[in-house]
């Protein structure tokens, strides 16, 4: 990472805390810089990505020869128009299919109440990792129709491939899970990469460039868009040297951990603000006498901006302003104004006139307002 990039990131760490979506934008910036080769320095002595691709191809040929995978179709050549930005010299733009031994959607399973094998659905695929809690069980007899390749292995990338709202979400299968116990359903795509850092691959899928283009890449109706297997196979990915992939992942993890700490601090600060602001609003409403509108206005003028910095406080502030208004604490009273008692006499005279003219029916007299009913003291000239 060059000095300019480091300074840029530090500047954003300083400002992200205050902005409402600052930490989210900071995470996106980290991933963007990482995938452009701007987060860690390049080392010209490292094996370039072009050599890594040759090794991956040789490994795929060996697996095909041993009958462990099917012979894949040659990937489509990359065009210059597809490449979104320039890469460092030792990097390569490659199709996802070129670096994977297996890319395939899962199958629609036959479910049972309990068995020894579980099915990974879209609900299980979370950005924070694989969640087995929502996983249902598959009929063991139906597994006889499953090829061995369909059983999940540690390091597999799982990519949600259908439906607005969940499409595009991805996670990695942990290495400590028994690979024979899990299969995916037809809404999840399995990507099994060769000689590539799986964490780097996952971070690429997480990056703003990929996520922003998911719905464009998908096909189908608005309610049921699909990330087709062919689209995943031909998906373009920036590939750094393997050693640099590891450095990038380590740096991303370090910076994301700092973002986590910022979020914890901001959550704690907002909690404290909510408490302080609630007390401030109560203080505002507790201004005792109606003629103290100047105190209420001064308080609002001094604290309005601060009270609006936390979203949850805005609704309470609205209520407080309306409460002040109906209590006579929002604007000054003018002794020269016609009092409400005179206004009531005029309203009653108007009603009697409308009754006389036959425009409304005569109403029963309303009960007198008792002292017990009155919620608070009114300004001079007001009436309950």
DSSP state string for 297-348: HHHHHHHHHHHTSSHHHHHHHHHHHHHHHHTT-SS---TTSPPHHHHHHHHH
Q: What is the pLDDT along the chain (384 residues), one digit of tens a residue?
A: 666 666 667 776 667 666 778 889 899 999 999 999 999 999 999 999 999 999 999 999 999 999 999 998 888 888 999 999 999 999 999 999 999 999 999 999 999 999 989 999 999 999 999 999 999 999 999 988 899 999 999 999 999 999 877 899 999 999 887 545 899 999 999 999 999 999 999 999 999 999 998 877 776 665 568 899 999 999 999 999 999 999 999 999 999 999 999 888 877 776 666 665 666 666 666 665 555 556 666 666 666 666 666 666 677 777 777 877 877 877 888 888 898 888 989 998 989 899 898 899 888 888 998 988 888 888 888 999
Question: Is 65 contained in some domain?
Answer: yes
Q: Which sign, positive or negative, has the C-alpha torsion 118, 122, 128, 129?
A: positive
> What is the model's pLDDT at position 178?
56
- Report CA 194 to chain centroid distance, whole Å: 30
**Global pTM exceeds 0.85:** no
Strands (E), 204-249: 219-220, 225-226, 236-239
Question: Which residues have C-beta within 8 Å of that of residue 380, sequence separation ≥ 6?
Answer: 290, 291, 333, 335, 339
> What is the model's pLDDT at position 144?
87
**Quick count: other Cβ atoms within 10 Å of Cβ 41?**
11
Q: Which residue range forms the structural domain that includes residue 74?
A: 47-240
Question: Is 194 contained in some domain?
Answer: yes
Buried residues in 186-216 as b, exposed as e (16+ CB within 10 A)? ebbbbbbbbebbbbbbbbbbbbebbbeebee
Question: Is 339 contained in some domain?
Answer: no
> What is the model's pLDDT at position 221?
60
Whole-angstrom CA distances from 65 to 46, 60, 74, 134 are 30, 9, 16, 38
Question: Is 291 contained in some domain?
Answer: no
Distance CA 229, CA 242 (A): 26
> What is the model's pLDDT at position 232?
95
The CATH number linked to 88 is 3.90.220.20
Question: Is 249 contained in some domain?
Answer: no
**Counting every residue, how long is the chain?**
384
Domain count, the chain: 1
Question: Is 61 contained in some domain?
Answer: yes
Cα distance between the two ends of the chain: 71
Question: Which residues have C-beta within 8 Å of that of residue 204, sequence separation ≥ 6?
Answer: 35, 210, 237, 238
- Report CA 252 to chain centroid distance, whole Å: 18
- Report CA 244 to chain centroid distance, whole Å: 28
> What is the model's pLDDT at position 182?
94
Question: Is 127 contained in some domain?
Answer: yes
Question: Is 27 contained in some domain?
Answer: no
Distance CA 240, CA 92 (A): 7
> What is the model's pLDDT at position 239?
98
């Amino acid at each position: 990472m060059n000095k300019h990039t480091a300074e840029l990131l530090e500047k954003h760490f300083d400002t992200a805390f205050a902005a409402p979506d600052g930490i989210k934008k900071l995470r996106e910036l980290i991933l963007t810089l990482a995938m452009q080769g701007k987060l860690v320095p390049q080392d010209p002595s490292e094996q370039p990505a072009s050599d890594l691709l040759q090794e991956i191809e040789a490994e795929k040929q060996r697996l095909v020869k041993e009958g462990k995978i099917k012979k894949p179709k040659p990937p489509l050549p990359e065009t210059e128009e597809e490449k979104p930005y320039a890469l460092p010299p030792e990097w390569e733009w490659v199709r996802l299919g070129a670096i994977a031994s297996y890319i395939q959607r899962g199958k629609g399973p036959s479910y049972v109440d309990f068995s020894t094998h579980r099915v990974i659905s879209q609900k299980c695929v979370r950005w924070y990792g694989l969640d087995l809690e929502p996983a249902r069980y598959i009929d063991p007899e139906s597994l006889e129709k499953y090829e061995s390749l369909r059983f999940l292995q540690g390091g597999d990338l799982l990519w949600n491939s259908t439906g607005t709202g969940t499409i595009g979400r991805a996670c990695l299968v942990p290495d400590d899970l028994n690979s024979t116990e899990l299969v995916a359903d037809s809404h999840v795509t399995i990507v099994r990469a060769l000689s590539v850092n799986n964490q780097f691959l996952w971070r690429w899928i997480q990056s703003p460039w990929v996520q922003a283009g998911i719905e464009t890449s998908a096909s189908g109706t608005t309610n049921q868009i699909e990330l087709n297997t062919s689209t995943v196979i031909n998906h373009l990915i920036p590939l750094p040297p393997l050693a640099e992939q590891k450095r990038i992942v380590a740096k991303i993890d370090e910076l994301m951990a700092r973002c986590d700490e910022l979020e914890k601090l901001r959550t704690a600060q907002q909690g404290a603000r909510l408490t302080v602001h609630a007390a401030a609003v109560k203080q505002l409403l507790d201004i005792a006498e109606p003629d103290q509108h100047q105190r209420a206005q001064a308080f609002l003028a001094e604290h309005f901006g601060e009270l609006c910095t936390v979203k949850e406080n805005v609704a309470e502030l609205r209520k407080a302003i309306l409460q002040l208004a109906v209590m006579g604490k929002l604007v000054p009273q003018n002794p020269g104004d016609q009092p409400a008692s005179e206004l009531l006499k005029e309203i009653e005279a108007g009603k009697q006139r409308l009754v006389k003219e036959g425009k409304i029916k005569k109403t029963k007299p309303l009960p007198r307002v008792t002292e017990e009913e009155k919620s608070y003291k009114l300004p001079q000239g007001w009436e309950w």
